[in-house]
């Protein structure tokens, strides 16, 4: 009698990693994630206080408030365009000297520049120099942020136990959610306890100064971080690396990576960062209520990211990210219509904001592991960092600038939803090029 074929329940399970490997994975996860939290906390604070920063640094006496807000978002975009350079510099450093020293340098630069923004004199004190110095500090933040993501995702995915790269990589997106939520929450808390005049005079500075103690904690954790891979002895230009059979050259993998995550970049920043200023400038929402709306969206995002990463370990990165992209395309415009409708109950609007954030989580959860799996170890930090930074520079950093300018010139309040839906629709063909079993293949 022939032996029956083994079914799914009869197949041997993946052996559990040894305790030392699990400890190393947890340590890498915490150390990488806390630095990412500091980075995105600052971006959340800047987005939440965009209207305040516009008034303090970009508005001379009698200046136009809308033009000042556009200038504020232009400084926001400048930081994003320095991120690819930071990804290239820090990425090559991480691929050559190790992940840990690159991550240490990135978090020191980020926390220092953020604290200096909290100490920067306003336009009324130093005149036209104020927006230029602020933009310079944003550029420094862009350099450090560009180096942060590639090294952090590399060390987390390389240290992850078998079959858990999606969940471990999702912690980078989860700390993005926590950082944005903490930034918006800090702004909302200050707006609640301080008067509007006190908030504009000095209260907005407090969240930026908090980056110093946060950065000190991240530094301490990263100084204790082990290296998952041996260092390489020489630098090879990323465009000149020779791929193994079946492997894309980095020069081709980077544009493909950008195309696969462009929907994540555009939709994420539209609904998680740009939303408070849009609600204030376009819908006349109060500062406090706009921040609460942003907190709700980020809470939904945070709740969905880790489950989405785990789901992508089971179903594949392609299935989960395609689902998120299609949901944004279908529901972005109806969502804004419901937010603007006067007769919709507040509880329904709150639920819609949470659902919008959760939809972005479907894109951001599998995204880090997807990028890590596209590049071999020798160029992983550089390759995924540059792809992520360029995608964010084009589709995230410019989101506030594009949305604000288009709403102003066209008068169409659906512009944010159309922008997010258009980017997600454009990402679908690139996501379809993923193989269903990419998540099961070992890292190269």
CATH label of the domain that carries residue 328: 1.20.1250.20
- Per the model's pLDDT, the better-predicted residue between 195 and 23 turns out to be 195
Q: Which pair of tokens denotes residue 434?
A: 């993923």
Domain containing residue 140:
24-227+252-440
Residue 12 falls within a domain, yes or no?
no
Q: Which of 430, 302, 433 is nearest to 356 (CA)?
A: 302
Positive or negative CA dihedral for 105, 88, 40, 79?
A: positive
Chain segment 95-139, per-residue pLDDT in tens: 887 778 888 888 888 889 889 988 988 877 888 788 888 888 888
Distance of alpha carbon 51 from alpha carbon 159, whole angstroms: 41
Helix (H, G, I), strand (E, B) or coil at 424: helix
pLDDT of residue 227: 60
**Is the distance from CB of 410 to CB of 314 less than 8 angstroms?**
no
Q: Which residue has the tokens 């604070």?
A: 45
Residue 114 falls within a domain, yes or no?
yes
For 247, residues 6+ apart whose C-beta sits below 8 A from its C-beta are 376, 444
Chain segment 67-102, per-residue pLDDT in tens: 676 777 777 677 778 888 888 888 888 888 777 888
Residue 11 falls within a domain, yes or no?
no
Chain segment 414-433, per-residue pLDDT in tens: 888 999 999 999 999 999 99
Q: Which of 152-166, 347-361, 393-407 has the lowest mean pLDDT?
A: 393-407
pLDDT of residue 7: 42
Q: Which 8-state DSSP code applies to residue 3?
A: P
**Is the distance from CB of 377 to CB of 386 less than 8 angstroms?**
no
Half-sphere exposure of 308 (CA within 13 A, CB side): 34
Question: Is residue 66 over pLDDT 70?
Answer: no
Integer CA distances (angstroms), 290 to 51, 154, 310, 333, in order? 11, 35, 31, 18
**Number of domains the chain contains:** 1
* Helix or strand holding residue 31 (H, E): helix 19-48
Q: Which of 216, 428, 182 is nearest to 324 (CA)?
A: 428
Distance of alpha carbon 227 from alpha carbon 237, whole angstroms: 22
pLDDT of residue 432: 95
pTM reported for the whole predicted model:
0.77
For 295, residues 6+ apart whose C-beta sits below 8 A from its C-beta are 181, 184, 185, 188
Distance of alpha carbon 164 from alpha carbon 306, whole angstroms: 11
Q: Which pair of tokens denotes residue 124?
A: 């009324």
CB atoms within 10 A of CB 438: 15
Half-sphere exposure of 218 (CA within 13 A, CB side): 30
pLDDT of residue 234: 39
Distance of alpha carbon 365 from alpha carbon 171, whole angstroms: 8
**Is the distance from CB of 68 to CB of 58 less than 8 angstroms?**
yes
Q: Which residue has the tokens 């690819």?
A: 84
């Amino acid at each position: 009698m022939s032996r029956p074929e083994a079914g799914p329940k009869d197949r041997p399970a993946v052996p559990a990693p040894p305790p030392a490997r699990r400890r190393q994975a947890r340590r890498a996860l915490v150390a990488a994630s806390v630095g990412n939290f500091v980075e995105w906390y600052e971006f959340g604070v800047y987005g939440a206080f965009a209207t305040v920063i516009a008034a303090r640094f970009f508005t001379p006496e009698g200046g136009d408030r809308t033009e000042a807000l556009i200038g504020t978002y232009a400084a926001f975009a400048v930081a994003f365009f320095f991120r690819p350079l930071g990804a290239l510099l820090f990425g090559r450093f991480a691929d050559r000297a190790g992940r840990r020293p690159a991550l240490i340098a990135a978090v020191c630069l980020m926390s220092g520049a953020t604290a200096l923004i909290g100490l920067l004199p306003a336009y009324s004190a130093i005149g036209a120099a104020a927006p230029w110095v602020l933009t310079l500090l944003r550029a420094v933040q862009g350099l450090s942020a560009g180096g942060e993501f590639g090294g952090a995702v590399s060390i987390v995915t390389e240290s992850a136990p078998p079959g858990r790269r999606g969940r471990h990589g999702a912690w980078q997106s989860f700390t993005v959610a926590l950082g944005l939520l903490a930034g918006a929450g800090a702004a909302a808390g200050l707006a609640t306890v301080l008067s509007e005049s006190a908030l504009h005079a000095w209260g907005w500075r407090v969240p930026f100064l908090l980056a110093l103690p946060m950065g000190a904690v991240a530094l301490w954790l990263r100084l204790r971080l082990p290296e998952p891979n041996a260092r390489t002895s020489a630098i090879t230009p990323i465009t000149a690396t020779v791929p193994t059979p079946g492997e894309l050259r980095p020069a081709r993998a980077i544009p493909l990576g950008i195309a696969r995550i462009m929907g994540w970049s555009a939709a994420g920043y539209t609904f998680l960062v740009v939303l408070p200023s849009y609600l204030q400038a376009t819908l006349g929402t109060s500062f406090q209520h706009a921040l609460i709306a942003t907190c709700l969206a980020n809470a939904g995002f945070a709740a969905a990211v880790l489950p989405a990463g785990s789901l992508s370990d089971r179903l594949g990165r392609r299935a989960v990210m395609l689902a998120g992209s299609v949901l944004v395309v279908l529901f972005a415009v109806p969502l804004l219509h419901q937010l603007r409708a006067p007769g919709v109950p507040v509880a329904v609007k709150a639920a819609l904001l949470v659902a919008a954030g959760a939809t972005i989580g479907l894109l951001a959860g599998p995204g880090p592991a997807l990028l890590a799996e596209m590049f071999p170890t020798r160029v992983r930090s550089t390759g995924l960092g540059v792809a992520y930074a360029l995608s964010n520079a084009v589709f995230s950093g410019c989101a506030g600038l594009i949305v604000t300018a288009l709403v102003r010139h066209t008068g169409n309040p659906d512009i944010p939803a159309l922008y997010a839906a258009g980017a997600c629709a454009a990402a679908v063909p690139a996501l379809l090029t993923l193989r269903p079993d990419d998540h099961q293949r070992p890292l190269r």
